[in-house]
Amino acid sequence: MGKLADLIFFRNHRLCPRWMCFTFDNRLRRLVQNPDKMIRPFVNEGDTVLDCGPGIGYFTIPMARRVGDSGKVIAADIQESMLSGIEKRAIRAGVQNRIVFYLSRRDLIYSGEPVDFILAFWMAHEVPDVRRFFTQLADALQGGGRFLLAEPKIHVSKSHFESMVDTACRAGFSLLERPSVSLSHAALFGK
């Protein structure tokens, strides 16, 4: 069953392909993971937000609404097709002017201006060097900012997630709390 489960749940692959986004970026998901409710405690009007590995914008679009005209969301992904998917959705939602599209490299997720909030939702398990990844995020987060890390329980074991938490703390983050996020292991960090 192990190999079959790996195939079904697309485990042991480094990147989630664009064609799979419909499986987790859909209306049914909102029943258990409502993006507006999930980001409300963390994102405010005027904030600069970094959305790492945003897929096709499940959280990006709601965060762009939340930051208002004076804020922005930086959607950082190594897959250009994901960014173009977000752009299409942002135009339909009327928030395209609030989103900056940042084409990342495998070794550099982001190196731009400081941000107030970082979201890495169900993507850190795809990163080849999490130590470097968390160090880059710590460099990007300004003092007083927060970083929410969430990983899918179906892909990431509790021990693997705890290793990620330890790595994030060694990279310069402070663990603030363990928010409850449906279907996920989650940790909220500060700097």
Amino acid 33: pLDDT: 79
Its pTM stands at 0.87
For residue 1, being part of any structural domain is answered with no
For residue 6, being part of any structural domain is answered with no
Amino acid 21: pLDDT: 52
Amino acid 11: pLDDT: 42
For residue 19, being part of any structural domain is answered with no
**Which residue range(s) make up the domain with 154?**
29-190
Mean pLDDT by 10 residues, the chain (191 residues): 43 50 61 88 98 94 98 96 94 98 94 96 93 98 97 94 98 98 96 91
Amino acid 15: pLDDT: 55
Q: Which amino acid is at 141?
A: L
For residue 52, being part of any structural domain is answered with yes
Three-state SS for 87?
helix
For residue 152, being part of any structural domain is answered with yes
For residue 20, being part of any structural domain is answered with no
Amino acid 179: pLDDT: 97
Two structure tokens written together for 105: 């490299």
Q: What is the DSSP letter of 17?
A: -
Amino acid 23: pLDDT: 55
For residue 65, being part of any structural domain is answered with yes
CA distances in angstroms from 174 to 33, 117, 127, 148, 180, listed in the order given: 25, 14, 21, 12, 18
149, β-bridge pairs = 120, 187
Domain count, the chain: 1
- Which of 80, 48, 73 lies closest to 59, judged by CA? 73
For residue 186, being part of any structural domain is answered with yes
Distance between CA 186 and CA 76 in Å, rounded? Answer: 20
Whichever domain contains 92, its CATH number is 3.40.50.150
Amino acid 106: pLDDT: 87
75, β-bridge pairs = 51, 101
Determine how many CB atoms are found less than 10 A away from the CB of residue 141.
Answer: 22
Taking every pair of Cα atoms in the chain, the longest distance, rounded to a whole number of angstroms, is 51
